Amino acid sequence: MTGVRVLVGTRKGAFVLTSDGKRQGWDVSGPHFGGWEIYHLKGSPVNPNRLYASQTSDWFGQVIQRSDDGGQTWEPVGNQFEYEGVPGTHQSIDGTPHPWEFTRVWHLEPSLVDADTVYAGVEDAALFRSTDGGQTWHEIAGLRGHSTGPQWQPGAGGLCLHTILLDPTGGERIFVAISAAGTFRTDDAGRTWRPVNRGLNSEYLPDPTAEIGHCIHRIAMHPSRPDVLFMQKHWDVMRSDDAGASWHEISGNLPSDFGFVVDVHAHEPDTVYVLPIKSDSEHYPPDGKLRVYRSRTGGNEWEALTNGLPQRDCYVNVLRDAMAVDMLDPCGVYFGTTGGQIYASADAGDSWVSIVRDLPKVLSVEVQTLP
Amino acid sequence: MIRVVLPYHLRMLAQIGREVTLEVDGPATQRSVLDALEARHPVLRGTIRDQATQQRRPMIRFFAGGQDLSHESPDAPLPEAVASGAERLVVVGAISGG
């Protein structure tokens, strides 16, 4: 029977939540890797039982875990991430040159066509790839080698490559997003890259429309329309209709256009979800009300989705990798909070329930739709 | 025989008990002990020292016999009590975080 598996990374371990196609009752498994920060877990679209997890610690560094049975058992694989050549420097937060230094893997993106191929977005920002199931990792060095690399600066969370969008048509295009360098695109499988940030306006930059320096929080795409991208920038919700060549704002009637997550409905390419956060100084929802906003028009016109979500005294945040959608009909939408709640909607956002309420701070949420 | 005590998270990662006993070829040094430890338990590579530079990770310390050996040269001989197995080499994670 069709079901869903929700993969949750938290500050103190990973959790695997499973349900059948009705998405009413849930089994919770975990914590896996208790006490470690699990920045991200994701399953292979080719083999849903193949999962990859980024396990990290300020004390003990980076570990990559792999499962071949849907998260019941795990095996540590390769954890050596060496920058290609002489790493050089980027800008530190105080504006002085700082040597490129690997800290952790923020995001793992399994290939759409090969279960043994997986991409890793890391801090300090770089893109790595493994073609042997995570045993060995090699940098796709053209990205960090872009002429603007020495000017990249971290956001408050570090200089992290947090979003990787692979070409759903099987081509060689990849989008990545880096806080706070911007969005970059390759059309030749990573050999060459170009910044695609035209139209972004960031008041915290000396030149608000500069080619790089924008703090992108998240980018989303519907696989049926790979040239249309939705972006939650630090401030501003943006859209591109030409594969990032230009962007325009679609914040419209949102109560705040600051936030972290953005995602697209599985079956409606113009239905988009964001979760407004009051400001970059406060990092909690406006008015203490946890509200997902949905646009059915590809932006600009947004409706608040509140049924089942706390509408008073709520001061959690929802981090950039902590929203996902399933492929069922109606589409399921899921997000996790810094307060440890996982909320799920089995009706495209019309109503919500909390699957679990008291996990550690949620860092990431992914969903697998199982055959 | 060298006796090494690992912190909780590394014991869980390597699926081993509190104390590991190792045989080391040649002089017992931090480097030779960690080489032997990582050869026995490859999953520990990168968790105590950087794989490329071999430098101790910043929030790891090495204690033995009431002494902090963390800032000794990795190639300096360990105290005789550690080399003989009378004392344990304790790998410690810093008390910090939440």
**What does each of the 98 residues of chain B score in pLDDT, given as a tens digit?**
999 999 999 999 999 999 999 999 899 999 999 999 999 999 999 999 999 999 999 999 999 999 999 999 999 999 999 999 999 999 999 887 66
In chain A, % of residues over pLDDT 90: 97
* Averaged pLDDT of chain A: 97
A291 near A303, Cβ under 8 Å? Answer: no
Nearest alpha carbon to residue A97 among A141, A153, A144: A153
Q: Do B47 and A76 touch (CB under 8 A)?
A: no
Q: Do B93 and A62 touch (CB under 8 A)?
A: no
Task: Give the distance from residue A33's alpha carbon to the nearest chain B alpha carbon, in angstroms.
Answer: 8
Task: Categorize the per-residue pLDDT at A1 as very low, low, confident or very high, splitting at 50, 70 and 90.
Answer: low
In chain A, % of residues over pLDDT 70: 100
A79 to chain B, any CB pair closer than 8 A? The answer is yes
Nearest alpha carbon to residue A364 among A4, A43, A7: A7
A57 to chain B, any CB pair closer than 8 A? The answer is yes
What topology does CATH give the domain B2-93? Ubiquitin-like (UB roll) (3.10.20)
Task: Give residues with Cβ within 8 angstroms of A248, minimum separation 6.
Answer: A199, A238, A239, A240
Neighbours of A323 (CB within 10 A): 27
3-state secondary structure (DSSP) of residue A288: helix
On chain A, the residues whose CB falls within 8 A of the CB of B7 are 59
Neighbours of A131 (CB within 10 A): 14
A256 near A286, Cβ under 8 Å? Answer: yes
Distance CA A240, CA A216 (A): 14
Q: Where are the alpha helices (DSSP H) in chain B?
A: 8-14, 30-40, 80-83
Distance CA A323, CA A344 (A): 10
Residue positions counted in chain A: 371
Q: How many helices (H) and strands (E) does chain B have?
A: 3, 5
Render the burial of A73-86: b for 16+ CB within 10 Å, e for the rest. ebebbbbbbebeee
- Residue A129 pairs in a beta bridge with A119, A138
Task: Categorize the per-residue pLDDT at A87 as very low, low, confident or very high, splitting at 50, 70 and 90.
Answer: confident
As a whole number, mean pLDDT of residues A318-325 equals 98
Distance CA B87, CA A290 (A): 56
pTM of the model as a whole: 0.96
pLDDT in tens, A179-232: 999 999 999 999 999 999 999 999 999 999 999 999 999 999 999 999 999 999
Range with top average pLDDT, A94-98, A153-157, A254-258: A254-258
Enter the ipTM. Answer: 0.93
Neighbours of A349 (CB within 10 A): 23
pLDDT in tens, A236-269: 999 999 999 999 999 999 999 999 999 999 999 9
| Predicted pLDDT of residue B97 | 66
Q: Do A79 and B46 touch (CB under 8 A)?
A: yes
Q: Do A59 and B48 touch (CB under 8 A)?
A: no
Q: Do B94 and A35 touch (CB under 8 A)?
A: no
